[in-house]
Structure 1
Amino acid sequence: MDCDLPIPRREVSFAPASPRSRYRASTPRRHPEEIERAIGSVDGVDKTRVYGKPDPSCGEIVVADLVLGKGFEQDNVLSRIRSSLETTWAKYKVPRVFNFVDSIDV
């Protein structure tokens, strides 16, 4: 699997006070909240949660769970999300996996 950047794999690192506040993969630290805000600004997304999922070759990959707004189609919303993120964010910050879910627990 291509990890987007030729940086050696590092251990997963969480801040002690908030395990969800950042994560590390084969790239610099990432803050899920900033990516959640960007995805949440796309029309058709009601809620989102971004997190790191263990990956044997990259350390972690970025995953986004999405609650789709009523009347919107998954493919259309996903296309707009990818287009928006890929033009404004570094490739390593764009989630590799998007899961459409019914609800997100806070």
Structure 2
Amino acid sequence: MKNVLRLLGIAAVIGLAIAIFRAVRQYQEDSVFDLTPATNTNTGNNGQRSSISPELLSMLADPGDKGPVELMVDANGKEWLVNRRNGYRYPIEDGIPIMLLEEGEKNKDESLIQK
């Protein structure tokens, strides 16, 4: 009877060790996918801080003509995504680009259009 209890005790300790090992490994794998904060330290135009990563900026497209947009900072320090083909400017609020046609039309700037 004592041998059976010892075997059960050893099996319980081994099972607990395996469970702890798997939990730690799962935590490490999950922490790889933690999101970065919305106000990261990427530098955009003119060496200023940018709230949009270059990877995201390369994926974004104007919703109207599906062309690329570029990041600009105005004199007040507000960030905009600009489509130089039609002059539409899309605001960036708290690191989130507001890519709606209505916003672009509302903030249209004729001086941004490249000929």
What TM-score, normalized by structure 2, do the two folds share?
Answer: 0.31
Q: Which has the larger radius of gyration?
A: 2
Structure with bigger strand share is: 1
Structure with bigger helix share is: 2
Greater relative contact order (Cα 8 A, min sep 6): structure 1 or 2?
1
